[in-house]
Amino acid sequence: MGDGDSSTFGEQFSRLAGIMFIWSTIQQLIPQSVRLFLDKLWSKLFGFYYPYVHITFHEYTKGIYNDAYTSIATYLGSTHSGMQSTYLTGDKSEDSKSLILNLDEGQEIIDEFNGVHFLWRACKEKVEDNSSSRRGIMSGIPQEKNSYVLVFHKKYRDMVTKTYLDHVIQGGKEIELNNRQRKLYTNRSSEDWFWFGGKWNYINFHHPATFDTLAMDPLKKQEIISDLDAFKKGKAYYTKIGKAWKRGYLLHGPPGTGKSTMIAAIANYMEYDIYDLELTSVINNSELKQLLIDTRSKSIIVIEDIDCSIDLTGKRKKKEASKSEEEEMESGQEDKIDKDSKSKLTLSGVLNFIDGIWSACGQERIIIFTTNHVDKLDPALIRRGRMDMHIEMSYCKFEAFKILAKNYLDIDSHPLYGDIRQLLEGNDVRPCDVAENLMPKTNPGDGEQCLRNLIQAINAAKEETRVRGKRGTLAKRLKETFLSKSTFKKSATKV
């Protein structure tokens, strides 16, 4: 270990690797406890000359699991450092997408950071005491005390405490996050929180939607992707401007235009978990706050059909009678006016959920509202800053159709495209209806038949609208005639 002089670094490192190889072979022959004893004896006898510092990270400290241990294990097992080692163990937990490699008992590796080399050793001791390890208690196997020991020259003490350990632990956390199996959570009713030991129920999240399969105007799509990219890289920026690292999206548009599909595409693009928040099962503001606190970073909190979830707008309208309400709302004082706010879910509770002081308790979070009726929503709920980007998911136009045709039929062009373009430009056709018609019903290879089905379906819908429109006009005319007659009758009676 020492500074890496660039000219001799390669030589030093290969020499070290050679020594490490011989040492790792020898150490398999020496029991772990003997090695630890020798290390301690050496540092006691020659403490004055012994220039190295040892720091031990136990898996459990006073019976409590040490999170740093997992982060170190993940960091050391990651390809760049862990693969140097000869003896590794492979773990795949329910929570991770792929295998995680760990150093096996007694294995050592050298990690390089800013030109300095650090030695890590994985240790395992058998202990008689049954009280300190959760694993032992649960499985009844002999207790083990796992730890990692970091060894470095004492001149790097400052570097280790100020930057290196942070680099290792944050690096480990980052790898864990990227490797984790993503989840789709839904909130439990508060009566179940105690019995199930958690506020959110979850399943593993597997949805195939991506931005490539999402049918919408390509320019609009690119704008959303760029916004997400900027958000993902924006940690330093958000810190600089003093804002919590979160972003709100409002997805609005008619049913079947792809709002839920867009959420899945965003989650896949960002590699985030989804918290699908069912507001109707939240009893009051305090419950909403507790649910928020129990969410993890790198996640999307979704409230679908916000206009139907709860009568937020009605409550707000009642209060519009009060002149100063808007200011009070903005300054978070609304609870003072609303006597019920502690026992009910109110608009102010939801506003606080989005951008109150508690909303900053997690990092890197996206909040998405969806609605079919944007005009029904309270302006305070969707103002910029709360819902930063308003995305309209609209009817299927030709560009969006081409994406669906590519997905469903694997074709880029066809002589019927001209007719389809005309029909789509002149009519409001939902992407879900286009998708349904492009799905081969009998012969999977018959793309042309699917296009014909689509043309037929749009024409049929057009005809139906025309007839309904005619009926509507006829009914309107009859109504007018009837009204004018009755008005005439009434005025005649009066006379």
Point out which residues bind ligand ATP (CB under 6 A): 214-216, 255-261, 372, 393, 431-432, 435
Q: How far is the CB of 260 from ligand ATP (least distance, A)?
A: 4
Q: How far is the CB of 435 from ligand ATP (least distance, A)?
A: 4
Q: How far is the CB of 371 from ligand ATP (least distance, A)?
A: 8
Closer residue to ligand ATP (CB): 259 or 402: 259
| Helix or strand run (H / E) with residue 379 | helix 379-382
Other beta carbons within 10 angstroms of residue 271's beta carbon come to 13
Handedness of CA 477, 483, 486, 492 (dihedral sign): negative
Q: How far is the CB of 365 from ligand ATP (least distance, A)?
A: 21
Strands (E), 195-277: 200-204, 246-252, 273-276
Closer residue to ligand ATP (CB): 268 or 285: 268
Closer residue to ligand ATP (CB): 165 or 264: 264
Closer residue to ligand ATP (CB): 143 or 260: 260
Dihedral through CA 81, CA 84, CA 88, CA 91, nearest 10? 30
Q: How far is the CB of 412 from ligand ATP (least distance, A)?
A: 17
Q: How far is the CB of 417 from ligand ATP (least distance, A)?
A: 18
Closer residue to ligand ATP (CB): 416 or 432: 432
Closer residue to ligand ATP (CB): 89 or 427: 427
| Helix or strand run (H / E) with residue 301 | strand 299-303
> Which residue number has the CB closest to ligand ATP?
258
Q: How far is the CB of 256 from ligand ATP (least distance, A)?
A: 5
Distances, alpha carbon 29 to alpha carbons 21, 22, 316, 336, in Å: 13, 11, 75, 72
Q: How far is the CB of 213 from ligand ATP (least distance, A)?
A: 6
Q: How far is the CB of 255 from ligand ATP (least distance, A)?
A: 3
C-alpha span between 368 and 457 (Å, rounded): 33
Closer residue to ligand ATP (CB): 134 or 373: 373
Closer residue to ligand ATP (CB): 261 or 295: 261
**HSE (CB half, 13 Å, CA atoms) of 312?**
24
Closer residue to ligand ATP (CB): 137 or 308: 308
Phi, psi of 138 (to 5 degrees): -75, -35
Q: How far is the CB of 265 from ligand ATP (least distance, A)?
A: 9
Closer residue to ligand ATP (CB): 261 or 352: 261
Q: How far is the CB of 259 from ligand ATP (least distance, A)?
A: 4
Closer residue to ligand ATP (CB): 200 or 408: 408
